[in-house]
Amino acid sequence: MPSKRAVGVICEDLLRILFPGFHDDDAIHKHTVFDLTEERLSGVVKRLETQVRKSVRIGDPHRPTGRTKPILLKFCKDLPDVRQLLHTDIQTAYEGDPAALSREEIILSYPCIEAISIQRLAHRLYQSEVPIIPRMMTEWAHSRTGIDIHPGAKIGSHFFIDHGTGLVVGETCRIGNRVKLYHGVTLGARSFAKDEKGQIVKGGKRHPDVRDNVTIYPNSTILGGETVIGENSTIGANVFLMHSVPPNSLVVQEAKQLSILDKSAKAKEGQEAPLEWSI
């Protein structure tokens, strides 16, 4: 089996390659970046090769497959594209969050950047049909950030997750460009098809699509493989959706009743009334 510890170390080293100096204890001089990146990439590839080989041989550890080296070659070629995508994510976080004072702050302290970085890397291995390891990578990021994005999810550019704790994005989600999600959002499956023996049928489109320029506010749940959130739409907090929404929509969960009492008036009577909520 692939090693959880080895995959975790590989994830850390990949972050060092993507963001030189940001995941290091010591400063890195710009004149050494090229040589240091070459050295680190060589080391990561060797260790990743061992884990990928184990993964593709699960079931028959002695069977040669010839898949490992082409997978690693493609993965390395994809790294510049992944890095460019991450630059769009960082820029969007900086532009969209008034609390962000610099791009350096975002890279160093925003959990969404770490989670998205690992997911974008794992997605490339997922596309190459590498077993297990992509999921191990995103679960490593999940355990560190509280953000759970399946490696199979397709995510466009300029992606931003505000806060992010408790966010879940399923395997067959397709997310467009300039999408913003808040903490507690779930893009999940509505139900699972079963065979004649009652066993869950694997595969198939189970999770929603989110088109370009969509914002989904905290704790909203959107389910179903046929559900599509149209472009330029806004989904308010605590919304529960199992059907599609046309473009340019605003979806809100309206409170049936909200009571706000004057505490000072009650205090004059010698007693304090509690704030009452009814939804």
123 shares its domain with 196:
no
30 shares its domain with 125:
yes
> Into how many domains does the chain fold?
2
- DSSP state string for 181-227: EETT-EEE-S---B-TTSPBPP-S--S-EE-TT-EE-TT-EEE-TT-
Q: Encode the chain (279 residues) as per-residue pLDDT tens digits.
A: 899 999 999 999 999 999 987 777 777 778 888 888 888 899 999 999 999 999 988 877 677 678 899 999 999 999 999 999 999 999 999 999 999 999 999 999 999 999 999 999 999 999 999 999 999 999 999 999 999 999 999 999 999 999 999 999 999 999 999 999 999 999 999 877 777 777 877 788 999 999 999 999 999 999 999 999 999 999 999 999 999 999 999 999 887 777 788 877 766 666 555 555 444
CA neighbor of 122 nearest in space, from 109, 131, 110, 111: 131
Instruction: Look at residue 169 and give its three-state secondary structure.
Output: strand
Q: What gap in Å lies between CA 2 and CA 270, rounded to an integer? A: 68
Is 88 exposed, middle or buried (CB count within 10 Å of its CB: 0-12, 13-18, 19+)? middle
Q: What gap in Å lies between CA 173 and CA 187, rounded to an integer? A: 7
Domain that holds residue 59: 1-146
134 shares its domain with 158:
no
Instruction: Look at residue 113 and give its three-state secondary structure.
Output: helix
- Could you tell me the two tokens for 167? 């966010």
187 shares its domain with 141:
no
Q: What gap in Å lies between CA 121 and CA 74, rounded to an integer? A: 12
User: Residue written as tokens 């199979």?
Assistant: 152
142 shares its domain with 8:
yes
277 shares its domain with 158:
yes
Q: What phi and psi values does residue 173 have, to the nearest 5 degrees?
A: -65, 145
- CATH number, residue 126: 1.10.3130.10
CA neighbor of 96 nearest in space, from 182, 185, 19, 222: 182
